[in-house]
Amino acid sequence: MAIVRAIPDTEAGRRRLALDSPVDRSPIGELDVDGAGEVDSAVARARAAQSAWAARDVGERAAIVRAAIDVIVARRGEIADTVRAETGKPRAEALGVEIVPACDFLNYWTARARRDLRPHRQRLHGYLRPVKKLYIHYQPLGVVGVITPWNAPFVLTLNPVVQALLAGNAVVFKPSEVTPESGAWVARVLHEAGVPEDVVQVLRGDGETGAALVNSDIDKVCFTGSVGTGRKIAAACAARLLPCTLELGGKDAMIVCADADLERAAAGAVYLSMFNTGQVCMSVERIYVVEAVADEFIGLVTRKAAEITYGPGDNDLGPLFWDRQLDIVTRHVDDAKAKGADIPVGGAPVAGNGLYYQPTVVVGADHAMDLMTEETFGPVAAIMRVRDEEEAIRLANDSRYGLSGSVFTRDAAKARRIAARLTTGSVVHNDAAVIYGVPEAPFGGRKDSGVGHVNGTDALRGFAHAQPILIDRWQPKRESIWYPYSEKTIRDLDGLLRYGFGNRLLRRLLS
């Protein structure tokens, strides 16, 4: 993420921010901060444009949005260059973490939109079935506000924006102030695909702009970011009874069982804790390895981590995206070292102007260390030996976070048994982090890791109101329960209870 500096206000009185590269701190751009007035104006334009967008057939909306795939493919080099300028990511990660999954999400959601959002008839139960028919219609919410983070600024913006658009909403979104142009590419590719300009709009700014968006005349908030900011958004939404989806931080645990393929587990431990410089909410932040295989596993991890290339240029590991993140990673590793952990690989920032931190392996970690309890978000594989899988499960659950987790074992049935005991939003077998890229899987956290889901089979419906419409089959003059009450009314109700619900066989027919 680019380094942000405040610079003197513009003549118009708007705050202005300067961005410096995390690679070498050279200037890469400036931006004016959108204030409450600009936010309200954007939301008003979105509301005026939303009804016409919603009036289009869902298939027409999907066809327009689907055209964004061709735009991304054609402009992938420009998008990747922007992402790399603001984050310093290696080109492989700009393509593999940002652009490939963005195209996959677009392809998947546009193919599902007509099926997921069409009105459908819902079968009724029991005594209602002969007299009523139920239909479910999906109405757009209106204007959706989306606030997205800096660690995967293109794909984590595109995914919720596209879901909301397909459901018939207009969207006003704010990418992080330190990856503003990477996020803004989402609006550019959608506009080029044919989405009207007022239907999807981008704001530029920091937390002040985000707060103004949350407090504006919108109908839902979708936020990805820190726990602290998520709590503030939840409180603001609660005051207005505004629906919100919050995808927050993680401290994901990896459990290495005694029967794991140790070569794969070690390769996974290194990559899954360090790709994107460890700045992934579902990256592996805690590793619990069963004592019986710990020595071999640690040896493999140490050797693989020592082979990672890092520094300016297209190496394996880029810089941290934010200067504050460098401080956090350094503090966590230094705390672990002071409390007795061994650091066989790395363990320090890289000298120079960039925000580089060495790929690091920490052995002998425990829950007295910040490294095992607070979100680190850096290229650190923190390993703790455990007696057995039972202890690993207990320690994995000993966290205020609950986003995702992983289990490495050759036994898929065992992986499912362990997963069922983990208090996390999702679990992955012999892999990690990839779960967000599986659109069929509902993705969301437990505990401090969030509220609600993105993705999954009901994802598009999460940006719509499911409106039930109950149709009368026979249109009689009155219902049997309507006024005036009579002795017959009471006999009929009593008979339903005695002979319907009071009879176990008939009770089953009424279900």
pLDDT by residue (tens digit) across 14-50?
Answer: 899 999 999 999 999 999 999 999 999 999 999 999 9
Predicted local distance difference test score (pLDDT) of residue 127: 85
DSSP E strands in 61-169: the ranges are 120-122, 132-140, 143-147
Q: Binning pLDDT at 50, 70 and 90, where does residue 480 land?
A: confident
Cα distance between residue 391 and residue 286, in whole Å: 14
The DSSP code for 23 is T
Predicted local distance difference test score (pLDDT) of residue 11: 62
Lay out the sheet containing 342-345: strands in order across. 342-345, 360-363, 380-386, 284-290, 252-256, 405-408, 428-429
Cα distance between residue 129 and residue 470, in whole Å: 11
**Burial class of 364 by CB neighbour count within 10 A (0 to 12, 13 to 18, 19+):** middle
Of the candidates 281, 285, 374, 389, the residue annotated as catalytic is 281
285: annotated active-site residue: no
Q: Which of these, 371, 389, 295, lies nearest to 334 by C-alpha position? A: 371
**What is the arithmetic mean of pLDDT over 271-295?**
97
Q: Is 170 helix (H, G, I), strand (E, B) or coil?
A: strand
Q: Binning pLDDT at 50, 70 and 90, where does residue 473 land?
A: very high
Enter the pTM of the model: 0.96
Would you list the DSSP string of 416-466? HHHHTTS-SS--EES--SGGGG-TTS-B--EETTEES-BSSTTTGGGGEEE
Predicted local distance difference test score (pLDDT) of residue 313: 83
Q: Binning pLDDT at 50, 70 and 90, where does residue 126 land?
A: confident
Q: Hey, what's the torsion of the CAs at 185, 187, 192, 193, to 10 degrees?
A: 110
**What is the arithmetic mean of pLDDT over 192-207?**
98
Of the candidates 247, 285, 374, 389, the residue annotated as catalytic is 247
**What is the arithmetic mean of pLDDT over 351-373?**
97
389: annotated active-site residue: no
CA distances from 408 to 121, 172, 227, 301, 412 (A): 43, 41, 28, 14, 9
> Amino acid identity of 372?
M
Question: Over the stretch 402-460, which tens digit does the pLDDT of each residue have?
Answer: 999 999 999 999 999 999 999 999 999 999 999 999 999 999 999 999 999 999 989 99
Name all domains of the chain by residue range, CATH numbers in brackets. Answer: 33-249+456-465 (3.40.605.10), 252-440 (3.40.309.10)
Name which of 106-110, 181-185, 396-400, 496-500 the model is least confident about.
496-500
Q: Binning pLDDT at 50, 70 and 90, where does residue 505 land?
A: confident
Enter the tokens of residue 318.
Answer: 């880029």
> Amino acid identity of 138?
Y
Cα distance between residue 437 and residue 435, in whole Å: 5
Q: Binning pLDDT at 50, 70 and 90, where does residue 56 land?
A: very high
- Asked if the model's pLDDT at residue 71 lies above 60, the reply is yes
Among left, alpha and beta (phi > 0; psi -120 to 50; other), residue 256 is: beta
Question: Over the stretch 80-89, which tens digit does the pLDDT of each residue have?
Answer: 999 999 999 9
